[in-house]
Structure 1
Amino acid sequence: MNDGAVGGIRLGLKENWRQFALLVLINAFVGGMVGIERTVVPLIGSEEFGIASTTLVVSFIVSFGVVKAFANLVSGQFADRWGRKRVLVLGWLFGLPVPFMILWAPDWNWIVAANALLGVSQGLAWSMTVIMKVDLVGPKGRGLAVGLNEFAGYFAVGVTAFLTGWLAAEHGLRPVPIYLGVGYAILGTVLSIFVVQDTRGHVRLETAKHANEGSPLTFRDVFVLTSLRDRNLFAASQAGLVNNLNDGMSWGIFPLFFTAGGLGIERVGILKAVYPAVWGLCQVVTGPLSDRWGRKGLIVAGMWVQAAALLLTAVTGKFGWWLGASVLLGLGTAMVYPSLIAAVSDASHPSWRARSLSVYRFWRDLGYAIGALSAGLIADAFGLAAAIMAIAGLTFVSGAVVAVAMVEQRPS
């Protein structure tokens, strides 16, 4: 996979494998920072701080989702102006205080504030690992690049969710499980500062080879195009929002739902680990498959598999059924996640691709806040199972929108 060279810079995975592998490792640390919260933080709210309201318990996800969405929105603009590496480092600097704030939090407001910082960190750092990998490989391997990136991030989420659940069962909710986050934050920051190299030269090379140079677009132009005007970008943006809407719901509601169903924290940790672990692992396959088969079919099928998994979770009450539903949910998300990012990259000119990806990720991660808040309100009014079923129905509808609106666009 080689798209020529300018000034010693080449496009392709083989040609850039060292930097690519480094960015895979760094994104594993980025994902691990979220993983420390998947099992224990909702339970800290309900058990340590005695919060009875589901809506209030999931408020930390709302702060995370809103802040991360807006950090995503500006990340592409910053990346084009300052360079990818500087934005990556800035993301890690925002993430450094997070595990310490959770360790020492005297009340729930500290947890909400920590998650606001985590949202900034994730919006900047995860965005840059995606954008930099797409920069390195060029147009021919986007699905593979995104699949490997998201594999690293979400497999780390799953492994860390399992480890924190196990450590919490052995040592309590705090402080031992949170020590993992301290290690992730320090390692990610050090590697980003001293080892990562910027990729703007790769963008210039791809832009020079692009058949259509494209007219200059303002940020407002890119925002409107990605959000509404281009049918493929619109379809991807709404599907990304709903995908993370159901993920935000599962993040906040599932631990409460499973414990209400009689499971101990260690088994809750297993269920919370299986979903992102399957999600992460399967993207190594689904990302490259989207390069061969196209994006649309995987996105539609993946949204409908997610909907089925959520419905199965809501209507059953046994660990075995919940485990199977967690596997299905991970599989469906793995079909959707890399395919959506690759579809946005396909439909975007290299000169404004970083901004388009940032707008897509804005809508996608706003879904965390919408999902957590709406699920919390529904759960308080009608019960936890009703909240899960409502989000399942919305996920199915979103897949139908992609089936109607998106036009298959093969990678160049």
Structure 2
Amino acid sequence: MTDPAPGAAANVPAGPGVALASAQGRWIVLATVLGSTMALLDSTVVNVALPHIGVALGADMAVLQWTVNAYLLTLAGLILVGGALGDRYGRRRVFVLGVVWFAAASLLCGIAPNAGVLVAARALQGVGGALLTPGSLALIQGSIAAGDRARAVGLWSGFGGVGAAVGPFLGGWLVDGPGWRWVFLLNVPVAALCVPVALRHVPESRDPQAHGRFDVLGAVLGAAALALLTYALIEARSGSPLVIAAAVGGVLLSFAFVYVERHRADPMMPPDIFASRQFTAVNLVTLCVYAAFGGFFFLVVLQLQVVSGYSAMAAGAALLPTTALMLLLSARSGALGERIGPRIPLTVGPLLCAAGMLLMLRVGPDASYVQDVLPALVVMGLGMVALVAPLTATVLSSVDPGRAGLASGINNAAARAAGLLAVAALPLLSGMGPDAYRSASEFDAAFGRAMLWCAGVLVLGAAVAWTTVRTPAPGACHPQCHTYCAMSAPPLEPPRTAET
């Protein structure tokens, strides 16, 4: 799905490819949907289980943060490498490896005896996610007939949207029923179905122009910088010399990452792609928007359970309106954005999301779902509808077509890194203590401060969009952007040729 080699073309078959209406075409879509749904569900169901995980393992707030961030850290740091491995060694091969890896790590999460093992297993899950996530859509683009690809991507996205919608509800049902460990164990039977389908029915594809060199140093430096900065933010309250050393080390490694990428022949993140002011501007908006989203979705299910007294299933189900709006209206939003340009949607969308987060300030003890929770989530969902599809389309239209996969991969990694840092920083900024989630009054006060921070970051994103984003040239937007429903990060777009 990503292409670290600047300008590399996709290995899209020139011939007919596999017809979507054929049995093999349907099997291909099923395999890719199963794989991508595993990773998508994991990013939505785990948050619902966090209070129960904390109580069961005797964990403090920092462990809950690491339960989310260990996964995001390895996923964000390695997702570009995962796409490159698929392009060069076979997308099906790397996809299947990712599914098996993800399932094995999920099993380890499900049987984790303590918080340390759980966090380590979550980091391993992120490695599996980085291997399978880029391949899910790239397999469709590399094997389905050209005339059917848009429809196949629509099916892939639609089923993914359904997965995103039912994920929190399913997670809550599992937590309230068999227990939080089944949130992770559920991935094992899904993988057991996905792997044989992929091996039997999905043809192999790769990029013949891809070479064997990888920017391993760049990937290691980027991931290490994120890890140290995340540790420094989560553990900042201790004020220990180790925290200060981690913060300094993270900043130094960030500069080292930029230096290496500027001087390598084949960098993971070529600096010259940021010569496009539009690309740079949209990525700044992405950082603001997905930082706020990451913080919001991490904290809102805790607020509903800890403060408002919702069960895990009720807290998960409470989020359904936001995803349903995304699923139903994303295509229309993409078409509208192409007609009027991205500047207005990328300005209005974050402002609506900010308004939704401010409305969440009304959600406290014994909150009414219809009067307090639902209006906030509807406004939030409308804001997400307004901005997500135009944001993706603008990313792809801001660079040469041959670099669309690279641009999308960078944008996706930026969104995940923003969410990672937000989950690390928000509890610190809002004054959450180590045991905040055990006290309704303490958590409620900190949640209110966190929503103000999130709303402020969204207003900043809207200001950046209004002052820097411009309408791309006519016809520059890729029509498949209209089919996506993406909440945790913008959708990845594989490298493509003109015919796709």
Letter of the structure 2 residue corresponding to residue 169 of structure 1: D
Match of 2:344 among 270, 279, 297: 297
2:471 is aligned with 1:408: yes
Alignment check: 8 A CA contact 1:102 1:178 kept: yes
Tell me the equivalent position of 2:307. Answer: 261
User: Judging changes above 3 Å, is the alpha-carbon distance between structure 1 residues 391 and 101 closer, same or farther for their aligned structure 2 residues?
Assistant: same
Tell me the equivalent position of 1:72. Answer: 79
Deviation track 1:248-277 (CA, whole Å, cap 9, x = no partner) reads 213321222112323222321212444334
2:448 is aligned with 1:385: yes
Tell me the equivalent position of 1:159. Answer: 166
Return 238-247 or 132-141, whichever deviates more. 132-141
TM-score by length of 1: 0.80
Match of 1:124 among 127, 131, 142: 131
Alignment check: 8 A CA contact 2:54 2:63 kept: no
User: 1:157 offset after TM fit, Å?
Assistant: 2.6
Letter of the structure 1 residue corresponding to residue 109 of structure 2: I
Aligned-partner SS, 1:348: coil
Tell me the equivalent position of 1:235. Answer: 281
Alignment check: 8 A CA contact 2:353 2:380 kept: yes
Letter of the structure 1 residue corresponding to residue 36 of structure 2: N
Letter of the structure 1 residue corresponding to residue 277 of structure 2: R
User: Judging changes above 3 Å, is the alpha-carbon distance between structure 1 residues 13 and 185 closer, same or farther for their aligned structure 2 residues?
Assistant: closer
Point out the structure with max Rg over C-alpha. Answer: 2
Deviation track 1:69-89 (CA, whole Å, cap 9, x = no partner) reads 112232343344334333322
Match of 1:187 among 189, 193, 196: 193
User: Judging changes above 3 Å, is the alpha-carbon distance between structure 1 residues 20 and 218 closer, same or farther for their aligned structure 2 residues?
Assistant: farther
Tell me the equivalent position of 1:326. Answer: 377
1:108-123 correspondence to structure 2 within 5 Å: 108-123=115-130
Deviation track 1:315-347 (CA, whole Å, cap 9, x = no partner) reads 443222212322332332233333333322223
User: 1:127 offset after TM fit, Å?
Assistant: 2.6
Distance 2:140 2:53 in 1: 37
User: Judging changes above 3 Å, is the alpha-carbon distance between structure 1 residues 352 and 96 closer, same or farther for their aligned structure 2 residues?
Assistant: same
User: 1:237 offset after TM fit, Å?
Assistant: 1.8
Match of 2:355 among 308, 313, 325: 308
Distance 2:163 2:267 in 1: 35
Distance 1:186 1:370 in 2: 33
Match of 1:394 among 457, 462, 468: 457
Tell me the equivalent position of 1:43. Answer: 51
Distance 2:132 2:418 in 1: 19
Alignment check: 8 A CA contact 1:32 1:157 kept: yes
Aligned-partner SS, 2:177: helix
User: 1:43 offset after TM fit, Å?
Assistant: 1.7
Alignment check: 8 A CA contact 1:306 1:329 kept: yes
Return 291-300 or 356-365, whichever deviates more. 291-300
**Structure 2, gaps ≥5 residues long:** 1-11, 211-263, 433-444, 477-500
User: Judging changes above 3 Å, is the alpha-carbon distance between structure 1 residues 355 and 44 closer, same or farther for their aligned structure 2 residues?
Assistant: same
User: 1:390 offset after TM fit, Å?
Assistant: 0.2
Aligned-partner SS, 1:351: helix
User: Judging changes above 3 Å, is the alpha-carbon distance between structure 1 residues 330 and 160 closer, same or farther for their aligned structure 2 residues?
Assistant: same
Q: Which has the higher helix share?
A: 1
Distance 2:193 2:414 in 1: 29
Deviation track 1:174-208 (CA, whole Å, cap 9, x = no partner) reads 44x5443223333333333333335657999xxxx
Return 44-53 or 128-137, whichever deviates more. 128-137
Aligned-partner SS, 2:84: helix
Tell me the equivalent position of 1:283. Answer: 330
User: 1:372 offset after TM fit, Å?
Assistant: 0.4
Deviation track 1:111-141 (CA, whole Å, cap 9, x = no partner) reads 2122212222333322333445566799999
2:404 is aligned with 1:341: no
Tell me the equivalent position of 2:40. Answer: 31
Tell me the equivalent position of 2:402. Answer: 351
Alignment check: 8 A CA contact 2:78 2:130 kept: yes
User: 1:147 offset after TM fit, Å?
Assistant: 6.6
Letter of the structure 2 residue corresponding to residue 158 of structure 1: A
Letter of the structure 1 residue corresponding to residue 298 of structure 2: G
Distance 2:26 2:209 in 1: 18
User: Judging changes above 3 Å, is the alpha-carbon distance between structure 1 residues 131 and 331 closer, same or farther for their aligned structure 2 residues?
Assistant: farther
TM-score by length of 2: 0.68
User: Judging changes above 3 Å, is the alpha-carbon distance between structure 1 residues 70 and 178 closer, same or farther for their aligned structure 2 residues?
Assistant: closer
User: Judging changes above 3 Å, is the alpha-carbon distance between structure 1 residues 340 and 138 closer, same or farther for their aligned structure 2 residues?
Assistant: farther
Tell me the equivalent position of 2:67. Answer: 60
Alignment check: 8 A CA contact 1:30 1:153 kept: no
Aligned-partner SS, 2:270: helix
Kindly tell me the number of residue pairs found equivalent between the two proteins.
392
Distance 2:359 2:34 in 1: 34
